[in-house]
Structure 1
Amino acid sequence: MPLIIRDFRPGDAPAVMAVRRAAVPFLVQTPEALAESVAGAPAAQRLRLLVAEADGVVVGAGQTGLQHDTSEPGQAFANPQVHPDHRRAGAGGALLAEAERYVRGFGVVRMHSWVMDEEPSRSFAEHRGYASSRVAHVLRLDLAHAPLPPAAPPSGTQLRPLGSFRGDPRPLFALECQTVEDEPGDVASDAMDFDDWFADTFVHGGIDQELSTVVVVDGVPAAHSYVETDGRTRLASRGTGTGRAYRGRGLATLAKIDSLGRARAAGITDAFTGNDDSNAPMLAVNRRLGYRRFAGERRYVRDL
């Protein structure tokens, strides 16, 4: 049978996650969270999850859509992934071509993609007209044996699970806007919408509401560490940051220590995180906690 590129169906979730885990060994998500994130994606994102199928077997997948939370017009993303056992058979190229065709219909002028910082992934991107933009480090912590320091909040400071904000998440959104805007990147996330953030991050994003920590100072959310798990023993950071008025106090470290402690108590043994090469403060925090380099990713960009 020929290779087929089609849209994701909820029943594909286990097979797609098997492909993604094999292609990106530090990716952490459950099949249920994947299906929920696709179904609950913001309308403005125009998200599509493409599936590559050969002889009835899912061999690859790739998300594509618009970068809807930026003031820069015409920005889109595509991240094709192919199972290592099925590479060099055209699936990756077909996924990327369909993604480019799709976003062009929305007036997109630039496509962004993350690939593994290794051969042949770099050659795959460069052969298709993509230029290297930035590098990110993927770090791993052996949480089962890491000597975590105690999470000792100073006076006037509370450590609360993310889920405790279900009744009123708007203060978290205000914090998120600051931390995301200040992250290094090719496109500024400076146009976030509360309803989109609430649906995509707080409700459908797969973030663990009990293992994620928010640091509250004098009643105001000041820092956070959000995490997602694979439903088994692995965890990945989904964002750690501090509000501008509270930086320099070690609050991001405090949030991360508390979140990791909660995770270890819940049976998590491996923790992954990713940091842009230029994000020296967060790289320093993670290395102090015992994270060590596991892999690398490279951002590629193409003008359409």
Structure 2
Amino acid sequence: MTSATLQELQPPTLPRGLIIRDFDGSDADYATFVAVGNRIYPEYPDTVEEYRHFDQSMPAHVKHRRWLAQLEGQVVAYASYIQYEGMYHPQLFHTSVAVLPELQRRGIGTALYQTVYHALLAFDPLRLRTRTRADFTAGVRFAERLGYVEDMREWESRLELAHFDPTPYAGHTERVVASGIRIATLAELMQEDPEHRRKLYELDLQLALDVPHPEPQTAWSYETFCQHVFAAPSFMPEGYYIALDGKEFVGISALWRSQAEKDCFYTGLTGIQRAYRRRGIALALKLCALAYARQQGVRIVKTWNESNNRPMLSINEQLGFIKQPAWINFVRVIKPEEA
């Protein structure tokens, strides 16, 4: 267990010339926030449209707040806290602090974290969470210095499609289909099945139970699911593959289009109902998705898997995905949860 230090309980001490203010939701703040974020994380660029959609999709009970830090009139860092509907607890918060690389180790990140922590005290937090990539050593040290400890890792894996050889898998998808499983795109099912949204939501809830999470899972609402999926700027129904047994949805492998990286797709949830596993369905879905990505001229596909999720990691390794530095999930216990 860790507890608040005296320094954290005091209002933040700002480095000379630094101003910390609330993110105001204006076009200018969104543009600046995204531009700074893309400089800090150039491998994971975002767009204003994506962030606006993310913010607007959050249900009312989820608390969130964002700050910008200005130095000599220029935004150089940001911080936030947020709750997630899929891991919701009223006293659990996910925190983030990011500073332009050339201005790190000048007290800006510490001042921002103090700002976040001071604001969270009003909610009597039990635990705080954060994450960073393992090779972002400054971020790892910053989290550890603040009392966060590692409790889960996720592998990021990437596949350069120019290096992907589908020859060893010739006939695999056809054999799965011959066994009685249909593979369709969500674009097709949106035209033929008026219940496609509800079926997809119910399958997502079921599959999510087998996805490792750092906190107990809570079901997100049907309305939130539809907003996050069907209204997302990166939604690509032609690259969203569904396995069906008759009219029942039994498996998913979804691709999402990066708005900022035109030659990059992201893999979302890939999963199969337990009763249908070990029949090659997940591999067939992934093969269909990769074939679509190649048809679209995409250069790279990125995916993430919890480090102990060996079945999914094995499929990705088999297909030629290359592991990148892991993402570390950290937790800081403020006070123990009552039994």
Letter in 2 for 1:134: M
Q: How does 1:70-109 map to 2 (within 5 A)?
A: 70=87, 74-109=91-126
Identify the range of structure 1 (169-178 vs 238-247) with the bigger mean alpha-carbon deviation.
238-247
Compare CA radii of gyration and give the structure with the larger one: 2
Q: C-alpha displacement at 1:254, in angstroms?
A: 1.9
CA–CA distance in 2 between the matches of 1:64 and 1:206?
24
**Unpaired runs of 5+ in structure 1?**
none
Deviations 1:60-96 (A, max 9, x none): 3345212333465522212333332332233433443
**Structure 1 letter corresponding to 2:145:** H
Report SS of the residue matched to 2:238.
Answer: coil
Q: How many residues align?
A: 304
Deviation per CA, 1:105-130: give whole Å up to 9, x if none: 33431111111113122111010111
Q: Structure 2 CA distance, aligned partners of 1:20 and 1:218?
A: 45
Match of residue 177, structure 2, among 133, 139, 154: 154
Calculate percent identity across the aligned residue pairs: 23
Measured in 1, the distance between the counterparts of 2:325 and 2:187 equals 31
How large is the RMSD of aligned CA atoms in angstroms?
A: 2.5
Which residue in the other structure is 1:287 paired with?
317
Match of 1:275 in 2: 305
CA distance in 1, matches of 2:268, 2:283: 15
1:90-169 aligned at under 5 Å gives the runs: 90-118=107-135, 119-148=137-166, 149=169, 151-152=173-174, 153-155=176-178, 156-166=180-190, 167-168=194-195, 169=197
Q: Sort the Cα spacing of 1:188 and 1:162 in 2 relative to 1 into closer, same or farther, 3 A.
A: farther
Partner secondary structure for residue 43 of structure 1: coil
C-alpha distance 114-172 of structure 1, shift in aligned 2 (>3 A)? same
Instruction: For 2:310 and 2:275, locate their aligned partners in 1 and report how far apart those are by CA, in whole Å.
Output: 19
Partner AA of 1:159 in structure 2 = I
Structure 1 pair 133–229 and aligned structure 2 pair: CA distance change class (3 A): same
Residues 177 and 190 in structure 1, CA contact (< 8 A), matched pair in contact too? no
2:270 is paired with a residue whose SS is strand
Cα distance in structure 2, aligned partners of 1:268 and 1:9: 33
CA contact (8 A) 1:29 1:206 kept: no
In structure 2, how many angstroms separate the alpha carbons of the residues matched to 1:205 and 1:64?
23
Residue aligning to 1:2: 18
Q: What is the CA deviation profile of residues 240-293 of structure 1, one whole-angstrom value per residue up to 9, with x for unaligned ones?
A: 111222222222222222222222222211111111111111111111111011
Q: 1:211 to 1:48 in 2, by over 3 A?
A: farther
Paired residues of 1:42 and 1:196 also in contact (CA < 8 A): yes
Of the structure 1 ranges 228-237 and 154-163, higher mean CA displacement relative to structure 2 is found in 154-163
Superposition TM-score, scaled by structure 2 size: 0.80
Between 39-48 and 116-125, report the one with greater CA deviation.
39-48
Aligned match of 2:13: none
Change (3 A) 1:110 1:246: same
Go from structure 1 to structure 2 and tell me whether the alpha carbon gap of 1:25 and 1:193 turns closer, same or farther (over 3 Å shift).
Answer: same
Greater helix share, structure number: 2
1:162-188 alpha-carbon deviations (Å, 9 max, x no partner)? 344554311111111122121112212
> Hey, what does 1:182 align to over in structure 2?
210
Which of 25, 41, 56 pairs up with 1:24?
A: 41
Alignment gaps of 5+ in structure 2: 1-16, 335-339
Give, as a single letter, the amino acid of the residue that structure 2 aligns with 1:170: R
The structural deviation recorded for 1:28 is 5.3
Deviating 4+ runs (over 6 angstroms) = none
Query: Contact 1:19–1:81 at 8 Å: present in 2 too?
Result: no
Residue 191 (str. 1) matches residue 215 (str. 2): no
Conservation of the 8 A alpha-carbon contact between 1:28 and 1:228? no
Counterpart AA for 1:196: T
Change (3 A) 1:191 1:237: same
* Cα distance between partner residues in 2 of 1:62 and 1:165: 40
Alignment of 1:265 with 2:295, yes or no, is yes
Q: Per the alignment, do residues 212 and 107 of structure 1 end up closer, same or farther by CA in structure 2, a change over 3 Å counting?
A: farther
